[in-house]
Structure 1
Amino acid sequence: MVIPVHDVNPVRRTPVVTYALIAANVLVFLYTPGLAGSVAGDSSLSQLCHLQAFLDHYAAVPQELIHHQLPRLVPTGEVGPGGRGCVVGPPGYDKSPFVSVFTAMFLHGGWLHLLGNMLFLLIFGNNVEDRMGHVRFALFYAVCGYAASYGFAFLNADSGDPLIGASGAIAGVLGAYLVLYPKARVWVLVPFLIFLPLRLPAWLVLGFWFALQAVYSSGEGVSDAGTVAYAAHIVGFLVGMLLAWPLKAGTTPPPEPRGLLFGRKARPRHTW
């Protein structure tokens, strides 16, 4: 797996929507009940019960999205007598499965989940927003997130596990970037004994990422395939490519990179 750290692709305007999305995701994470102690490694039963109740309320659940049936008993956030699990009871709230897809896009299960998503959004979201404009990018982001969630739900219609994270929407951003800027150079860290910095074309970085999602979604090469919605990543990526395709013809290519390339000095090019 390669870790992107920067792309050589300047923008013409400040990506305010991208920054706002990152800020919103971080703030929601910091105020998510049960995750306050995750930095210090504290995961008490009380915290887990609060988190479970919060996710049941605000996360998207495939079973609810497809069948439009809410469970009769949900976690209340309280610890059972003698510390034996979490208490369940009738829900004390009304939940809209459709709206839960939106709220779920701002929820994350841990710091690694959050920071990984925000890193990809920061690197690739600014250029896609620059090309689409602020309003269209915000709508594009939401459409990709909804498509990814419902796509995953249709493939897992009987699943009662909560679906959280911005990965589906961000996968759409990656798909759009691949269509609009396939030749843009991206600085990545490649783990090989040490982290090697390389500057690779976006089509290689994002194409490799998509191939990994396809492999992982089949359950091959990863032990936690059941806990990560790789199918949502695939759907979001493909929808992002499709929506960005009409903009490809009028997109100005990124500037030709100069300086170091693959750790060596790039040769000067001459025009005749």
Structure 2
Amino acid sequence: MIPLRDSTPSNTFPLITVTIIALNLAIFFYESSLGIEGMVELFSVFGLTPLNYSQGYVPLLAYLPFLTSMFLHGSWMHVIGNMWILWLFGDNLEDRMGRGNFILFYLSCGILAALTHYFVSPLSSEPVVGASGAVAGVMGAYFLLFKKARVLTFIPPFFLFNLPAWIYLGFWALTQIWCGTVSIFMADACGAIAFWAHIGGFLAGMVLYKLFLKREQPLYNV
């Protein structure tokens, strides 16, 4: 299911959403210039490797990958997929939260997604990278804030459906829960994807979004 557009227009230019997208694309251009070996080395330093935090004392700076990992991606399809979803849903959240609150919300969801992955797979030695957890937080907030929105969805090979946003996002969340649960018993059964990071990010977005909404302007009688 590939979302093509949503029905909720933006009231302001989504500066933070566009900046996050541009930053992720610029970083991936840099990654691509390093070659395979360079990317592997970069991921080992700035990607999130849970095992690094399960072996005793860890210096404070070593926790940086909980933040930096959400700005790294493993392939063009990985970064384009994440940034496309952010473009579709992030602009409306930025409208409702304001620019400063939106970036704090986005980063908070990404960090909580990374923590979820760590707690589910504390002994994993594979670096995890990608904005999926933070983007899942955006999806979780959109799921609750824009229930009446619709998402034009392409279902290969040639079906188009104008689905209610809660159906599209709810189905996506259920697939993550299913694959995340299956992966506990059969590693990589649904692919080498950090499904629990997605689940953690989605839930974080649902729980936290109210804390970041702009305060309603008071009404004055004139």
State the TM-score bracket (shorter-chain normalisation).
0.7 to 0.9
Q: Counterparts of 1:128 and 1:58 in 2: how far apart (Å)?
A: 28
Q: Is the 8 A contact 1:63 1:159 kept in 2?
A: yes
Counterpart position of 2:165: 202
The reply to whether residue 4 of structure 1 matches residue 3 of structure 2 is: yes
2:81 to 113, 116, 141: 116
2:136 to 147, 171, 185: 171
Counterpart residue type for residue 154 of structure 1: F
3-state DSSP class of the match of 2:65? helix
Following superposition of structure 1 onto structure 2, how do residues 14-33 of structure 1 map, counting pairs within 5 Å?
Answer: 14-32=13-31
**Count of residue correspondences:** 213
Q: Which has the higher strand share?
A: 1
Following superposition of structure 1 onto structure 2, how do residues 46-85 of structure 1 map, counting pairs within 5 Å?
Answer: 47-67=35-55
Q: Is the 8 A contact 1:216 1:222 kept in 2?
A: no
The reply to whether residue 126 of structure 1 matches residue 125 of structure 2 is: no
Counterpart position of 2:148: 183
Q: 1:123 Cα deviation (Å)? A: 0.2
Instruction: Check 1:14–1:234 CA distance in 2 against 1; reply closer, same or farther (3 A cut).
Output: same
Instruction: Check 1:26–1:69 CA distance in 2 against 1; reply closer, same or farther (3 A cut).
Output: farther
Q: Is the 8 A contact 2:105 2:212 kept in 1?
A: no
Aligned-CA RMSD value: 2.4
1:239 to 182, 200, 204: 204
State the identity %.
38
* TM-score of the two chains, using structure 1 as the length reference: 0.72
Residues 188-238 of structure 1: per-residue CA shift (max 9 Å, x gap):
1012xx221211110000000001101111237995546200000001000
Q: Counterparts of 1:208 and 1:64 in 2: how far apart (Å)?
A: 34
Counterpart residue type for residue 40 of structure 2: Q
Q: Which has the higher contact order (CA 8 A, sep 6+)?
A: 2
Q: Counterparts of 2:211 and 2:38 in 1: how far apart (Å)?
A: 45
Counterpart position of 1:42: none
3-state DSSP class of the match of 1:6? strand
Following superposition of structure 1 onto structure 2, how do residues 258-269 of structure 1 map, counting pairs within 5 Å?
Answer: none
**Which residues of structure 2 form unaligned runs of 5+?**
217-222
Counterpart residue type for residue 3 of structure 2: P
**Which residues of structure 1 form unaligned runs of 5+?**
38-46, 71-93, 252-272
3-state DSSP class of the match of 1:189? strand
Q: Counterparts of 1:223 and 1:154 in 2: how far apart (Å)?
A: 17
Q: Is the 8 A contact 2:109 2:133 kept in 1?
A: yes
Q: 1:124 Cα deviation (Å)? A: 0.5
Residues 26-77 of structure 1: per-residue CA shift (max 9 Å, x gap):
0000001xx349xxxxxxxxx332221111111111122444667xxxxxxx
Q: Counterparts of 2:53 and 2:103 in 1: how far apart (Å)?
A: 23
Q: 1:141 Cα deviation (Å)? A: 0.4
Counterpart position of 1:139: 104
